[in-house]
DNA sequence: CATGAATGAGTATTCATTCAT
DNA sequence: CATGAATGAATACTCATTCAT
């Protein structure tokens, strides 16, 4: 990769980071291209060399952030001695919930913009410096375990949607209860869904 | 209610309906006050006699539409001979899913804007021409049945969030599968959650 | 006509005049909407209440100015005792050439933007405060005179195009000669064309 | 001419051709330097090695295209056995009208940008691969014929302007009539102008 | 109450031009 | 010579909000 190419990569990363900071602090609608450019220390025109418009940037950013979250969870899993597929699932979900509790702005950003399609493709994206991808890993674990899961993708979908939408309410809005209070119910819910697909 | 009062009600309703049509067709961001006014056949200034701004209107509209959905489901339930609390729950959810499948734009609108807080209060709002309110009914049914539910609100929350977020993906985006394909899994999921809270 | 309506007419006229001044002094391309608005003493947004964009304004302005020129020439003709249709034609053309020589910026503006279609319709437009229209008058004079003209519109077209394009070069660019020097040739040319269509 | 020199000539020609295509299809105002560069397969910076700016290119292009037109007409004349100066003039004009009818975009481009000054100098420019120049030829023919023309340049000017401006209307806009219908009148007009200057 | 003309701050987007490679 | 990434000034156009009628 030539010098120029590296430089371009850096600029794009700078823009993404600046945009994320602004989107999460001022909100997407109130963030202007000018804001993003000046926050990045780049000229306004430069923005358009990397993204078509604000929406284009948002889409790329959402997928990137969601993927990153799973990559981190996955990395943590590999460092820990959790046994059994269900426990691994719970570990991942707990990790993610913890992370979102600590960074509610990330949660707010992801929740508003993520759909299963974007999410699914983000998980399968090859992440630089992370050869293992979560989705691939998930599927292979499923097969290797003695567990017979009838619809592994639907199971993951159901769990992720349940976790995502309840996190949004409990963590960000504390509605109807805080995540602390809801978490045991959520874990039990995940367990029941797991049983349903694998029994 | 005087003539003037009725007139005002009508104008407000006209504005709400026009806004709903525009929001669902052009999107919220691309709909202007001008659009709403001219679609209503009213002057721009008139808008401000009824709503503070576009966001104010959206909030009122969201609660109104979500509530209406449950009110209709509830009314349908009263007309049908479904027995048993769980079956009534399933009936309600099925009714709502059917409705959202037929009117995906309503789904898109609600999904983007509804949080549990708004939803919860919408369900408890006194609805004109509907003395019975869904939330009240739900709670009273819970008590009257022999079923002991430990956390009725959390159960409803869990079910509604699961239904809502999976509907969004399966109906609107057909991701990861169509609602037709997902529905048996969703119903079974609801059943499991029900069991979890009432066993 | 109500107060509001009169006010609107005035604003439109103000914008047209401001635009004409700017177009002829700075050129069309270098004139901005902002310029036009501030020159008019109106807000930028107001411009868009009256014209779609700069091009829309230009079209209306071109037709208006061309028409005005003929209206003036025509008014002068009515005040003078010129006899015979051909002499009247020459009077009109002389009047217009004189006028354009005195106001070369008007010439520059009209010449660049006028086509026969725009011109033709401008001449037939009912001009406020000028019931007689040039084109109508021209046609009726043609019929009333003993002269038999085979193609009156083509004759007018030919003369107007010849006058227009040579004026542009001789008056504005002094190329290949000044209008003073070219004028006798041009008058003779008009005479010959007249003969050709009426002999 | 060295290899490098040839290379430069080619690049300039490529840029001119690309610009002509774009100017005639998108219009001058909407064509950007970027467009011209990418259409040429060259880099944006390269443009500035050959032209000062878009206007510089346009001027060169206009003269080039107008000159080319006459060069072609002239070449065709040399291949045909037309006798008599007036007939040669008519041949040239007919050739040009035919050509413009087939390539209306060329007409639109030339008409918008050509003035007699540019035109005159373009005709006198030494054309590569064409030792004979139109203007020179025109003047020498004039002298050699027995015809006494009082103002040969004014005659050419008058005819060219008349042809040019009527072509624009009749060919491009079909106003007030098509060129097919106008052509006999135009030829007769040219004849009359010819007579006027030479009788 | 209702209107809609007027406002002008706010923003996205373009594009000629430069210059380090 | 040629490149094309970066720049940032320039501008068109929108739209929420006000207020005189």
Domains of chain C: 1-51 (1.10.10.60), 55-198 (1.10.357)
B30: Cβ under 7 Å from strand E?
A: no
- For E19, nearest residue by CA–C1' is D45
Q: What is the mean pLDDT of residues D88-100?
A: 94
Q: Both tokens of residue A190?
A: 């995940």
Q: CA of B170: how far to CAs of A75, A169, A194, B158, B175, in Å?
A: 30, 21, 20, 18, 5
- Check whether B122 has a pLDDT greater than 80: no
Could you report the average pLDDT of every consecutive run of 10 residues in chain C (199 residues)?
84 96 94 96 96 94 88 90 91 95 94 78 66 77 85 93 94 95 97 94
Q: What is the mean pLDDT of residues D43-63?
A: 94
Q: What is the mean pLDDT of residues D85-108?
A: 94
The pLDDT assigned to A178 comes to 97
DSSP-derived 3-state class of residue A1: coil
The pLDDT assigned to B147 comes to 84
Q: Which of residues 33-62 of A touch strand F (CB under 7 A)?
A: 42-46, 48-49
Q: What percent of chain D has pLDDT over 90?
A: 65
Number of helices (H), then strands (E), belonging to chain B: the values are 10, 0
Chain C CB within 8 Å of residue D139 CB: no
C11: Cβ under 7 Å from strand E?
A: yes
Q: CA of C72: how far to CAs of C67, C93, C123, in Å?
A: 9, 12, 12
Structural contact between residues D153 and C154, judged by C-beta atoms closer than 8 angstroms:
no
Q: Which of D69, D81, D63, D71 has its CA nearest to residue D133?
A: D71
Low-confidence ranges of chain A (pLDDT < 70): 1, 126-132
The pLDDT assigned to B115 comes to 80
Average pLDDT of every residue of chain A: 90
Q: Give strand ranges (E) for D8-120.
A: none
Closest C1' nucleotide to D54's CA: E16
| CA–CA distance, B7 with B1 (Å, rounded to integer) | 10
Mean pLDDT lowest among B162-171, C126-135, D27-36, D177-186: C126-135
DSSP-derived 3-state class of residue D80: coil
| CA–CA distance, A68 with A77 (Å, rounded to integer) | 14
Structural contact between residues D127 and D133, judged by C-beta atoms closer than 8 angstroms:
yes
Q: Using 50, 70 and 90 to split pLDDT, how confident is the model at B146?
A: confident
The pLDDT assigned to D130 comes to 56
Mean pLDDT lowest among C134-138, D7-11, D178-182: C134-138
- Which residue is listed with tokens 């050129």? C27
Give just the sign of the alpha carbon dihedral B91, B94, B99, B102: negative
CA→C1' distance for B54 and E5 (Å): 21
- Check whether D132 has a pLDDT greater than 70: no
Mean pLDDT lowest among B31-35, B118-122, D36-40: B118-122
Chain D CB within 8 Å of residue C180 CB: no
Q: Which of A57, A65, A63 has its CA nearest to residue A35?
A: A57
- Which residue is listed with tokens 């008139």? B46
Is the CB of D175 less than 8 angstroms away from the CB of C151?
no
| CA–CA distance, B85 with B83 (Å, rounded to integer) | 7
Contacts of D53-62 with CB under 8 Å at 24 or more apart are D54/D28, D57/D15, D57/D16, D57/D19, D58/D19, D58/D23, D58/D28, D58/D113, D59/D113, D59/D118, D60/D16, D61/D16, D61/D19, D61/D20, D61/D23, D62/D109, D62/D110, D62/D113, D62/D114, D62/D118, D62/D122
Average pLDDT of every residue of chain D: 90
Nearest CB partner across the interface for A154, out of B117, B168, B182: B182
The pLDDT assigned to D55 comes to 94
The pLDDT assigned to B1 comes to 57
The pLDDT assigned to A132 comes to 60
Structural contact between residues C161 and D163, judged by C-beta atoms closer than 8 angstroms:
no
Q: Tell me: the pLDDT tens digits for A100-123?
A: 999 999 999 998 877 777 777 777
Is the CB of D158 less than 8 angstroms away from the CB of C166?
yes
Mean pLDDT lowest among B43-47, C145-149, D32-36: C145-149
Please list, residue by residue across B119-147, b when 16 or more beta carbons sit within 10 angstroms of its beta carbon and e when fewer do: bbebbeeebeebeebbbebbbeebeeeeb
DSSP-derived 3-state class of residue C83: coil
Q: Give the gyration radius of chain C's Cα atoms.
A: 19
Residues with Cβ within 8 Å of residue A190, at least 6 apart in sequence: A89, A90, A93, A159, A162, A163
């Amino acid at each position: 990769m030539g010098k120029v190419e590296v430089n371009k990569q850096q600029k794009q990363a700078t823009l993404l980071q600046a945009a994320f900071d602004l989107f999460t602090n001022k909100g997407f609608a109130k963030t202007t291209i000018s804001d993003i450019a000046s926050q990045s220390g780049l000229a306004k025109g430069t923005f358009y060399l990397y993204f078509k418009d604000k929406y284009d940037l948002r889409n790329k950013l959402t997928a990137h952030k969601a993927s990153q979250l799973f990559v981190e969870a996955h990395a943590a899993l590999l460092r820990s001695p959790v046994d059994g597929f269900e426990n691994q699932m719970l570990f991942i979900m707990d990790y993610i919930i913890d992370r979102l509790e600590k960074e509610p702005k990330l949660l707010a950003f992801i929740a508003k913009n993520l759909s299963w399609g974007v999410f699914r493709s983000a998980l399968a994206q090859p992440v630089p410096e992370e050869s293992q991808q979560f989705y691939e890993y998930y599927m292979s674990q499923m097969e290797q375990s003695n567990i017979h899961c009838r619809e592994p993708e639907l199971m993951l979908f159901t769990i992720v949607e349940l976790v995502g939408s309840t996190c949004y309410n409990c963590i960000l809005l504390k509605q109807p209860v805080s995540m602390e209070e809801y978490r045991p119910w959520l874990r039990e819910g995940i367990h029941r869904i797991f049983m349903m697909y694998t029994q």
